[in-house]
Amino acid sequence: MSTQTSAQTDTDAHRGIAPTAPRASAGTLGHGRPAAGFLAPFVVLYLLFIIGPAVYGLILSFTNASLVKPGLNGFAGLGNYGEALGSAAFWSSLWHTLWFTILTTPPLVILGFLLALLANRVARGRWFFRLAFFAPYILPSAVVALIWMWLYTPALGLLDTALAKVGMTPPSWLGDAAWAMPSLAITTVWWTLGFNFVLYLAGLQEIPRDLYEAAAMDGAGPWQQIRSITIPMLGRTTTLVAVLQVIASLKVFDQMYLMTAGGPNFATRSILQLVYDEGFTNFRVGYAAAVSMLFFLVVLAVSAVWFTLVRRQEKVV
């Protein structure tokens, strides 16, 4: 996904500068054959593991295929799609995934930026802050889930004990339908912040120092420098971070499956868990395929809206 994203922004960027680019590439047509050879390994793997299964999934979605029965088990037409669109479980799971995305994306982008800014300004021991903020990202989801389940344990967990000491009544973090999703969002922010942090840190180091020197000479304070130099200069990084983040959040499964198993009372079942439940637990592969196709359309729509916004924004800049 990331390669596609950066390719997209690159072409956008070059469009204004090099309108003759297509003609130039026409002149290199003679290299087509070696290029195809270089591409072949990727294309073969891509066809075999991405396009092939996707087409197979599309076919399955129109059938009653079962995991434990041979064959496609009969054509279902649009029956699976109709069932999904009429199912409360489908809509609530879809909303849970979107709600999680809404809860996690802004903090992950904004905190990633702020922490990168701070870490970049530290004069001594910079490596420590970089490591500290990035370290959680390298943990496997199972480890993260275990750590936070201990923290959230009712009555005995670290959070509850600490809050009880200062006289506060903690909520039932993972047990209350209203709190479970925010609790999962907090875990996710702690876990994956490091990735955005590193992207921002790289972006910050790309900004030429002389801009700040010139601004300082003109009498701009630190806050003004951040607002007028840092944030605009990081525009492209922010776009990248936000797109990657939205997609990563929409794909949520691990931490929810491990920490709440979709509960309490299905309040945190994501759409991917619904697909998993239907396909691998209920053995209804055809129906699961239909749900994932519908989810694919949602992701496509979100991405399309996002890119339209970004393109407009870049035209303005």
Selected from 70, 77, 167, 219, the binder of another protein by CB under 8 A is: 70
| Most distant CA atoms of the chain, gap in Å | 76
CA distances, 107 to each of 63, 115, 193, 306 (Å): 41, 11, 9, 18
Q: Which is nearer to another protein, 204 or 267 (CB)?
A: 267
Looking at the Cβ atoms of 187 and 260, the one nearer to another protein is 260
Q: Is 153 in the site for another protein (CB under 8 A)?
A: yes
Answer yes or no whether residue 174 interacts with another protein by CB under 8 A: yes
Alpha-carbon gap, residue 144 to 146, rounded angstroms: 5
Binding to another protein by residue 182, rule CB under 8 A?
no
Alpha-carbon distance of 136 to 134, in angstroms, equals 6
161 binds another protein (CB under 8 A): no
Q: How far is the CB of 286 from another protein (least distance, A)?
A: 8
Residue 140 CB, nearest approach to another protein (Å): 12
**According to CB under 8 A, which one of 283, 299, 307, 314 is a site residue for another protein?**
283
CA 167 from centroid of its chain's CA atoms: 37
Least separation, in Å, of the C-beta of 164 and another protein?
Answer: 14
Question: By CB under 8 A, is residue 266 in contact with another protein?
Answer: yes
Task: Quote the Cα angle for 190-166-168, to 5°.
Answer: 80
Q: Does 277 bind another protein (CB under 8 A)?
A: yes
- Token pair for residue 150? 């201990």
Dist. CA 291–CA 219, nearest whole Å:
58
Shorter beta-carbon distance to another protein: residue 66 or 187: 66
Q: Where are the alpha helices (DSSP H) in 207-284?
A: 209-217, 222-225, 231-233, 235-250, 254-259, 271-276
Residues that bind another protein (CB under 8 A): 64, 66-73, 87-89, 153-156, 172, 174-177, 259-266, 277, 280-285
